[in-house]
Amino acid sequence: MAELEATAPGAPPPPRGAVAFGPFRFDAGDGALYRDGAEVPLPPRALGVLALLLERAGRLVPKQLLLDTVWSDTFVSETSLTEAVSVLRQALGDNPQSPTYIQTVHRRGYRFIAGAVPAATGTLLPGEPSGAGWLPGVPSGAGTWLRRRTGLALAIAAAAVAAALGGWWQPWRRPAPAAGTEAPRRLLIGIPAGAALDAGVAPALALSPSGRQLIYVAREGGVQRLYLRALDRFEAAPVAGSEGAAAPFFSPGGEWVGFFAQGKLKKVALAEGGGPLVLCDSPYPYGASWSEDGSILFAPDFASGLRRAAATGGAPTVLTTPDRRAGEIGHRWPEALPGGRAALFTVWRRGGWKDASIDLLDLRTGRRRELLRGGSCARWSPTGHLVFARAGGSQGLAAVPFDLGRLALLGPPVAILDGPRTDPAQGAGQFALSRDGTLVYVPGGPQGTGRAVYRLAPGGDGRVLPLPPRPYRNLALSADGRRLALTVRELDRSELWVSDVDRGNLSRLTFDGDSIEPVWSPDGRWIAFAWARGGGRFELYRAAADGSRPPERLLAGGNSRFPTSFSPDGRLLAFTETAPGTGADLWVLPLGEAPRPFLRTAFDEERGRISPDGRWLAYQSNESGSVEVYVRPFPGPGGKWQISAGGGSLPAWSADGRRILYRRGTALMAVTLSDGGGEGGGLSAGPPQLEIDEPELDRFAVSAGGGVVVLRRAAAEPERLHVVLGFGRELARLAP
């Protein structure tokens, strides 16, 4: 990979003293505004607004950031900000309808649009156009002098009390310290009784940049939604319109929260009380991050690259594409870095945690490079570190020093915290960091989320099956509906088990390596599966369902392969092969003979399912730009029919072969099929219909008698979130 572009060496540091614009001069040292040498009297809050706008000249400054910074010592409404801006405009002689200095960005914030230059030279900075931001993305100067200036004004208003206390120059309420300066303090936040965190595949937590507000995803009364809690309040409140939400994230100013729900990427304003706005399609929640440039980076699928969409909505563009030749499955868990020029993301590979890497993406050139291996879900800390979830054992979180200017690591990773929950199957870390150095995490380690097995009837009503809760990942139901094959993911490996549905007993069939993707033979005697031993490629095996003999390999050598279905007579096994150049392809293996390709293109074709009558094969493909479900004649040749609409994956046939069921987000959809008739025959597909709306829908198995078997999180005691205030100081100590 080409090296990522970094800041040019020797670039001049941003000015910290006086700055000039038009006839005005603002002195950040004493917090005063001058016009032609005479001081312009302004209230401290109006000066604070001006200071922050100048720090981010040329860039949008969100309302919430202004409120959090300028009014850090009290709680006010947006009216106070509007009044301060009005006073400031009057002092500057600025017309809000045709502004020279301060532009209003409707419903979002304000922008300083005039050219700001160092007062000492009166010339623009090298390489900076008029109006370009001249201070780093993280505010600093405004808060420093404003606290001094505001403290003085407030003390004068209460002179007797302040003087008696001997600290008349101090603010009446201590502002939040910068990251890395506050001594660590730990506390617990309880989830209300009757509610449960959605801390499975996607991160369930988000902290506002100021560290004052926490968003988490929880389920209560069968409804999954976002909850908002201010850290100085005792209660959390549900966020209106966030039903079905997952993987929340804050805007840079903290006034918006983005999330995934119903196959869409959405955002909702926290202060205005309105409903959520749909930004674009995103079938699955594999992470998102809101960049300072007004765009959102996100991963719409487990096997996709990153996408970028405008925070105002619109069609997304492709940022990255997984390199199938290098064994990459997908790109996920993005983190936009300050300044909007680069981002971190996780590259997930077939080897899971041990092969996952944290990569750096240049958002201007599209070039990327690997930073480290064996980690996932990286987050940037203003202390100059990357914090990430680490693979193996109970290591939890690790940190590595990071130079934001050069976009380079400065040392080796160091383990910093045991115990945060991680998902061994997808690499998510259940933790969140704020810009003020606050850490929030869900305890639990890397054991995976305990799940129970449910049988659901059409409509969603169902009952739990008598299997013990375990971190189940894959499941397959035998043709007679009496036995289940499941994989159990613990630590960094997955093993194959079989269970009697009515009795709930579990018998283990594999004892080492990674065993995934079980498929039953029609007669129920065999279970085909993919097995990777010693960290190598996945190969096709089959195991006797009764455990009477050791697993036997069906096909040796070649690329990684994953079984998907048997033909009705059990003689043919459909499987997916991942190959350099063509990605995922569909193949057929006549048992005891050489395999032959069924569908091999430049796109990814996966999950081939042979129909109960052996005439058709359903599969998923990304040929349209999104993953959809298709059907082709089997064993071919012939055309194809698109079955899904608006995204679809994991196709499965009903027992009678008249319907195809598939997953779209949290919905299980069904399409009724019939013969197309006519001279050429063919297939006719009806419109997709909602079968079940299941918030935890992941893998499913179709039951012979109707309905499906799914996995749900097992009932548990109310969880508590761990909060570390001043974690930045601890981070600087542990990873100097």
Q: Give the span between the Cα atoms of 668 and 700, in whole angstroms.
A: 9
How would residue 82 be classed by pLDDT, with cut points 50, 70 and 90?
confident
CATH 1.10.10.10 residue ranges for the chain: 18-165
Residue 409 phi/psi, 5° resolution? -75, 145
Q: How far apart are CA 693 and CA 718, in angstroms?
A: 25
Q: What are 264's two structure tokens?
A: 């869409």
Quote the tokens at residue 601.
Answer: 């293109």
Q: In this model, does residue 144 exceed pLDDT 50?
A: no
Confidence band of 652 (pLDDT split at 50, 70, 90): very high
Which two structure tokens, joined as six digits, stand for 637?
A: 């040749």
pLDDT of residue 105: 86
Backbone angles phi, psi at 93, to 5 degrees: 70, 35
What is the pLDDT averaged over residues 60-83?
Answer: 79
CATH 2.120.10.30, the chain: domain bounds? 185-448+717-734, 451-713
Average pLDDT, the chain: 82
- 451-713 CATH fold: Neuraminidase (2.120.10)
Q: How confident is the model at residue 579 (pLDDT cuts 50, 70, 90)?
A: confident
Give the whole-angstrom CA distance, residue 643 versus residue 16. 61
Q: What is the mean pLDDT of residues 225-245?
A: 89
| Mean pLDDT, residues 250-258 taken together | 93
**Cβ neighbours of residue 84 closer than 8 Å, sequence gap 6 or more:** 43, 45, 46, 48, 49, 70
Q: Mean pLDDT throughout 304-313?
A: 93
| 528: exposed, middle or buried (Cβ count in 10 Å: 0-12, 13-18, 19+) | buried
Residue 75: pLDDT band (50, 70, 90) is low
* pLDDT value at residue 136: 32
CATH of 185-448+717-734, one of 3.40.50.2300, 2.120.10.30, 2.130.10.10, 3.20.20.30: 2.120.10.30
User: Both tokens of residue 195?
Assistant: 């509610």
Instruction: Report the percent of the chain where pLDDT is more than 70.
Output: 84
Q: Provide the pLDDT for residue 119.
A: 64
Of 269-278, 353-362, 585-594, 626-635, least confident by mean pLDDT is: 269-278
* Whether the predicted pLDDT of 290 surpasses 60: yes
Closest to 300 (Cα-Cα) out of 312, 318, 314 = 318
CATH 1.10.10.10 is the classification of domain 18-165? yes
Reported as a pLDDT band with limits 50, 70 and 90, residue 120 is low
CB 110 within 8 A of CB 101: no
Q: Dihedrals φ, ψ of 287, to 5°? A: 100, 150
Q: Is the pLDDT of residue 10 over 70?
A: no
pTM of the model: 0.63
Report d(CA 295, CA 301) in Å as an integer: 19
Q: pLDDT at residue 338 above 60?
A: yes
| Residues 479/520, Cβ–Cβ less than 8 Å | yes
CB-based contacts of 570, cutoff 8 Å, min separation 6 = 521, 522, 523, 591
- Cβ contact 116:21 at 8 Å: yes
Choice among 174-178, 439-443, 466-470, 510-514 with the minimum mean pLDDT: 174-178
Strand-pair partners of 43: none
- Count of residues making up the chain: 736
Query: For residues 617 and 609, is the Cβ–Cβ distance under 8 A?
Result: yes
- Determine the average pLDDT of the residues in 180-202: 77
